Amino acid sequence: MLALLAEGQQLREWYSVEQFARIIDRSEFTCREWCRRGRILAEKKISGRGAHTSWAISHVELLRYQREGLRQPSLD
């Protein structure tokens, strides 16, 4: 949350992978992989790019990640 305030951004309900990556100072690719593997709880949402969807990460998940880190890897 401090990172958001320092960057002058407003709090959001959902973040794109790009926004999430910038806030936590990781690459977009890494954050997308975390979403894909379930290490970060994210949802696929319509992105405005036709039929394509993109990952969206909730503010609640951002706070959880900042407190606890990545989720345990799934056994799939």
Q: Which tens digits make up the pLDDT trace of 1-46?
A: 566 555 555 678 999 999 999 999 999 999 999 999 999 999 998 8
> What predicted TM-score, i.e. pTM, was given to this entire model?
0.79
Residue 63: is its pLDDT beyond 80? yes
Q: What is the CA 60 to chain-centroid distance, rounded?
A: 10
Cβ–Cβ under 8 Å, residues 34 and 40: yes
Domain with 29, as residue range(s), is 13-68
- pLDDT higher than 80, residue 49: no
**Mean pLDDT value across residues 46-65:** 88
In which band, very low, low, confident or very high, does the pLDDT at 51 lie, cut at 50, 70 and 90?
A: confident
Residue 1 included in any domain: no
Residue 6: inside a domain: no
- The number of folded domains in the chain is 1
Please choose, from the candidates 37, 36, 38, 45, the residue with its C-alpha nearest in 3D space to the C-alpha of residue 16: 45
What element of type H or E holds 28? helix 28-37
